[in-house]
Amino acid sequence: MAIVKMNKLSVIGMNQEKKSLLKDLMDLGVVEISGSADKLQDENWQKLVVKDGDEATAAEYDKLVSRAESALDILSRYGGVKKPLFNIRKTISQEDSVKLEAEGDRFREEAEELISLNDQLNEAFAQVNTDNNLIATLKPWSSYQLPLEEKKTSRLNLVLGVCPPTADIQKASEELEAEGLPCQLTELNRDKEQCYLSLWYFTDDQEKVMETVKGWGFTQAQLGDLTGTVTENIERLEAEVKELEAAKETVTARIGEKASWLDDLQFYRDMNVVKRDESRVRSKLLKTESSFTFDGWVPEAASTAVGQLLDKYTCWYEFAEPGEDDDIPTRLSNNSFFEPAEFITKMYSLPSAREVDPTPIFTFFYILFFGIMFGDVGYGLILTIASLLVIRKMKSEKTPALQLFKILFYSGISSTIWGVLFGSFFGNLIGAVTGTFGSHQVNFNPVWLDPAQKAMFFLAFSCGLGVVHLFVGMGIKAYEEIKAGQKLQAVNDVFIWYLIVLGIVLWIFGGKISPSASVAGKWMTLIGFAGAIILPIFIEKGVGKALGLWNIYSGVTGNLSDILSYSRLLGLGLASTSIATVINFLATMGGKSVAGIIMFILIELLGHTMNFAINALGAFVHSCRLQFVEFFGKFYEGGGREFEPFKKDTKFVNIVEEGK
């Protein structure tokens, strides 16, 4: 069964056994513990129980997890420890886990030391940036020789300032002189941004002088409380930057020496995740002074194992069938071939626990459509081999990434098969190479057809596949309606449209088979239309009884639009092989010369790499679209909530009991 049947679990236990019972349930990893908000809203329950919880402890462990992750990130950035493309958990025994857990304090000290080193590094980076910014600020003033702290005498004020580069400093000086203001305005430097000036004037004239120079856009420079000359400050700052850079290298080297702590910190992180989750789950429990209780969900197949575990404790428990209003979690269970496509189902939405799992139904169509759109022997083999290498590296741990590469592996095989049928090996690479560099041209001929030569036939074939795909989706809808006792609704929603669509096809194209086929198609269509008008009278209520004609209009246009969507099989199939052929043509334009061979290699590598990437992405996306929009649109609602068992949700280590 694709969707696992769930049993509802209720447990009442003793407080003194709570910690041990929860630990065993976490090790078993098959029970989802539900929240208790609904019970706390019931007045009878409010009189008996209070919410359990250990939020403070959970928050403390959450902080430790965050510190451990920060330390791991530091090792990744500065310790020469590269993050793998796909994370693979290391397996350790329960006995080794207990030993490592006893060293938690040491692991914590390692994390804190790395964080401290990183803080030193960040401080050095910040100070280097500050110093470099100040150096850049001071350099335009390098020609100013007086100490910066000397800003006035008993009678004079000394001011550094800037004005726009368009300002005429000579005219500004003349204006000051014309106003009878004895002062000295000197241009020290100029760049595209501004003009750098020094201004000396008598203190008694300050108000008039500043009013005049402001008219030229003069503003005082903000150089802070620096002392000494500009040159001395620049030299001091540059020396400080060198010292800081050396300190950064020293700290980075010290972090690099800690690379051996990686395994410790990974275990430490996961250990605290487990403890945090143990603390968090208690907030879902209700308790009295001596007992606790919780509800949850258990896969029916695991109920026996859960019962055997609970029998070890002084507790009452009960398994029950889900009620009509229960929010049942969804857990998919498919065989090894269909299971990778669960990744695609979840991209859209999980089915509800009361719905049909579409995964084993659309998997075949997904692989088929991907192969048609990406149909090339060379590209298919690359995708197959690359996916297989990644799958072997990732071992057998079930992750979305592993599911993705498994479905790409099957899609690569499909692409290779369709490439043989279409006669495409990197487009026409074999013919291009033998025709350009060989004595005679050898072609890789199609076993079935060349889509470019028989485009109209291939379009009809694509739309025919679409009809089959849509009919399967409509059939699932009919199955669900019949199961719900809505047989007449199934006839109206599905079987009438089987009759209409097939009838229209036979009416238009049946004459090529026999005249009677065309006549049969005509009558099938007319009977279908009549049924679509009459059936709503018996099914619908009120105004809905008169919607037959509208249903015909919307049904015909909707189904026609859906069927035409499958023309993308032709479009992307042609794009993949046609672009590859163009690449081969461009690559062989250099002929047999040495330069031509180099040109051939470069264009082939670059061109086919880009074509592979673009069309692989296109085949993936559009194969998904045909499932999500056309196929799912016929029957699928989704909106399921994923089953989330209480288990050790570790990232780096997989703790197993001895003998397992």
pLDDT exceeds 80 at position 548: no
Is residue 313 in a domain?
Answer: no
| DSSP assignment letter at 148 | T
Task: Supply angle C-alpha 179, 183, 184, rounded to 5.
Answer: 125
If phi > 0 it is left, if psi is from -120 to 50 it is alpha, else beta; for residue 124 that is alpha
If phi > 0 it is left, if psi is from -120 to 50 it is alpha, else beta; for residue 30 that is alpha
| DSSP assignment letter at 656 | E
- State the amino acid at position 560 in one-letter form: L
Q: Residue 207 is part of a domain; what is its CATH number?
A: 3.30.70.100
Average pLDDT taken over every residue of the chain? 91
Burial grade of 573 (CB within 10 A; 0-12, 13-18, 19 or more): buried
pLDDT in tens, 574-601: 999 999 999 999 999 998 899 999 999 9
Q: Residue 493 corresponds to which tokens in the numbers above? A: 């929603």
**Which residues does 165 contact at the CB level (< 8 Å), separation at least 6?**
190, 191, 192, 193, 194, 195
What Å distances lie between residue 95 and 98, 99, 269, 622, 660, CA to CA? 5, 7, 18, 49, 13
Question: Sorting pLDDT into bands at 50, 70 and 90, what band is 657?
Answer: low
pLDDT exceeds 50 at position 210: yes
Average pLDDT over residues 421-448: 92
Residue 397 has what pLDDT?
Answer: 64
- State the amino acid at position 9 in one-letter form: L
Beta strands 195-202; 183-190: pairing state? antiparallel
pLDDT exceeds 90 at position 424: yes
Number of H helices, E strands in the chain: 23, 12
Distance CA 637, CA 653 (A): 37
Is residue 488 in a domain?
Answer: yes
Is residue 584 in a domain?
Answer: yes
Q: Sign of the CA dihedral 487, 490, 491, 492?
A: positive
Is residue 57 in a domain?
Answer: no
Residue 520 belongs to domain spanning? 339-634
pLDDT in tens, 488-533: 999 999 999 999 999 998 898 888 778 888 999 999 999 999 988 8
| Cα distance from N-terminal residue to C-terminal residue, the chain | 26
Question: Sorting pLDDT into bands at 50, 70 and 90, what band is 49?
Answer: confident
Is residue 28 in a domain?
Answer: no
Asked whether 245 and 222 are in contact (CB, 8 A), the reply is no
Same domain (yes/no): 571, 427: yes
Distance CA 51, CA 36 (A): 8
Task: Supply angle C-alpha 443, 445, 450, rounded to 5.
Answer: 125
Question: Sorting pLDDT into bands at 50, 70 and 90, what band is 660?
Answer: very low
Distance CA 23, CA 28 (A): 9
Residue 542 has what pLDDT?
Answer: 66
Distance CA 189, CA 175 (A): 21
What are all long-range contacts of 277-280, with beta carbons under 8 Å and residues at least 24 apart?
277/26, 277/646, 277/648, 277/649, 278/22, 278/23, 278/26, 279/54, 279/55, 279/57, 279/58, 279/61, 280/58
Indicate the number of domains in the chain: 2
End of a domain among 187, 222, 257?
A: 222
Is residue 112 in a domain?
Answer: no
Is residue 117 in a domain?
Answer: no
Task: Supply angle C-alpha 515, 516, 517, rounded to 5.
Answer: 90
pLDDT exceeds 90 at position 568: yes
| DSSP assignment letter at 290 | S
Closest CA to 316 of 9, 45, 13: 13
Q: What crossing angle do the helices spanning 548-564 and 455-483 adopt, rounded to 10°?
A: 130
pLDDT exceeds 80 at position 80: no
Q: Residue 48 corresponds to which tokens in the numbers above? A: 């008996």
**Which residues does 26 contact at the CB level (< 8 Å), separation at least 6?**
274, 277, 278, 646, 647, 648
End of a domain among 158, 192, 222?
A: 222
H or E stretch including 336? none
Range ranked top by mean pLDDT from 11-15, 100-104, 152-156? 11-15
Question: Sorting pLDDT into bands at 50, 70 and 90, what band is 99?
Answer: confident
Same domain (yes/no): 217, 352: no
Cross-strand bridge partners of residue 318:
10
Q: What crossing angle do the helices spanning 262-281 and 18-28 adopt, rounded to 10°?
A: 120
Same domain (yes/no): 345, 206: no
Q: How many CA atoms lie within 13 Å of 274's alpha carbon, on the beta-carbon side?
A: 24
Q: What percent of the chain has pLDDT over 90?
A: 73
pLDDT in tens, 292-337: 999 999 999 999 999 999 999 999 999 999 988 889 999 999 999 9
Residue 365 has what pLDDT?
Answer: 97
Hey, is 54 helix, strand or coil? coil
Distance CA 9, CA 32 (A): 9
Distance CA 487, CA 497 (A): 15
End of a domain among 175, 202, 222?
A: 222
Is residue 79 in a domain?
Answer: no
